[in-house]
Amino acid sequence: MQRSAETQTPRIADRAGAQALVTGVLASLEALEAVLARESDHIRVGRMREGLADMDRKSALAAAYFQGLEAIKANAIVLARFAPEDIETLKAAHLRFAQALETNQAVLATARGVSEGLVKTLVDEIDRARTPTVYGRPSQAPSPYGRSGGARSQPLVLSRSL
């Protein structure tokens, strides 16, 4: 099976090509890091829609970055010979990116946990309001179907237009 010309990794033959490859990968890495930082900032303050607005751009930048990494792996020996200082710069940038990615994942996990907690609290409040009380204590009427407490839950409907 042959790869098409556009998916083949470029072969580097000189110092200028090595520097151009590393510069291109650094540019996509920095742009991706900026998108992640913007996403984290928006989500951290509760602006989910704005935070998730750049999903297409983030996907495109991630794809470009991974393609660049594949090209760097394929040309590792040549890059080490022609541009060792650029490789060190790329390694440092990759470490910064890993930290930004870790921060982004923590922010997303926190937002997911908070939203799950809010929905669970809302469901508990709705169930508590529907549970009849007898002498101040929650009680439950017997089910004609022989099921106990689990059958009283009803679907939860949320409005996205609020």
Per-residue confidence at 38, pLDDT binned at 50, 70, 90?
A: very high
Q: Which residue has the tokens 């990116």?
A: 97
Q: Which residue has the tokens 């689990």?
A: 150
Q: Is the pLDDT of residue 148 over 90?
A: no
pLDDT for position 132? 73
Helix (H) or strand (E) holding 77: helix 76-82
Average pLDDT estimate for 53-58: 91
Residue 21 phi, psi (nearest 5) = -65, -50
pLDDT tens profile 70-117: 999 988 888 888 888 988 999 999 999 999 999 999 999 999 999 889
Quote the mean pLDDT of the chain: 83
Residue 146 or residue 12, greater confidence = 12
Percent of the chain with pLDDT over 90: 39
Distance CA 29, CA 66 (A): 9
